[in-house]
Amino acid sequence: MEMTLDEGKEKFIQSWGTLGSNWGINRTMAQIHALLLISPESLCAEDIRQELQISMGNANMNLRALIDWGLVYKKLKSGERKEFFVAEKDMWVVIRQIITHRKKKELEPMIKVLDEISSVQPNSEESEAFCKVIRDIQLFSSKADSTLDTLIKADSHWFVGTFMKMIK
């Protein structure tokens, strides 16, 4: 079934927004990211405001967030006063940035909490069950932590090659 560019763009922007939203990321932020990803030219805040029908404030705040995530860069055009924005197009870098950001914001704080919690003494049936669960989650978390570190450092395009063989 054929699809026009405009239909495709619309569908992609909406789907990327929904995906983000399902993973706890602001829908508009994800939509701006989608729009910039598929734009061959850099866009200014006003372009984005118009395309997505949102306010300038909203566009601005989410652009800052995207820059903070390392997914979008500012671009200055000579002769132009306003700022332009371009998305990082290398998918491997995109994924690495997302992993880095979420690791820092969610995995690392969780590891810290588990560490604090593991000072509970296992001296009853209840506290033993508790400590066992915490230990298991710690084990998994620290493994995830080091695996993601390796993944982040592996700047190659591992994900397009054979990755299957890696798991057992």
Partner DNA sequence: TCAAACTTTCAATAAGTACTGAAAATAATG
Partner DNA sequence: CATTATTTTCAGTACTTATTGAAAGTTTGA
- List the one residue from 65, 86, 99, 117 that touches its own copies (CB under 8 A): 117
Q: What does the longest C-alpha to C-alpha distance in the chain come to? A: 72
The closest of 139, 149, 150 to 111, measured between CA atoms, is 139
* Tokens (6 digits) for 144: 């995830």
Contact 84, 44 (CB under 8 A): yes
Shortest separation between residue 23's beta carbon and DNA, angstroms: 11
- List the one residue from 46, 68, 80, 136 that touches its own copies (CB under 8 A): 136
Contact 29, 62 (CB under 8 A): yes
Please choose which of DNA, its own copies, none residue 50 contacts, taking the beta carbon within 5 to 8 angstroms, the exact cut-off set by kind: none
Q: Residue 148 phi/psi, 5° resolution?
A: -65, -35
> Locate tokens 């591992």: which residue?
158
- List the one residue from 82, 89, 104, 132 that touches DNA (CB under 7 A): 82
> Locate tokens 């299957």: which residue?
164
Please count the residues of this chain forming the interface with its own copies, following the rule CB under 8 A. Answer: 61
Beta strands in the chain (DSSP E): 43-44, 72-76, 83-87
- List the one residue from 56, 76, 91, 93 that touches its own copies (CB under 8 A): 91
Please choose which of its own copies, DNA, none residue 99 contacts, taking the beta carbon within 5 to 8 angstroms, the exact cut-off set by kind: none
Interface residue list for its own copies (CB under 8 A) = 1-5, 7-9, 11-12, 15, 19, 21-24, 37-40, 89, 91, 95, 105-106, 110, 113, 116-117, 119-121, 124-130, 133-134, 136-137, 139-140, 143-144, 146-147, 150-151, 154, 156, 158-160, 163-164, 166-168
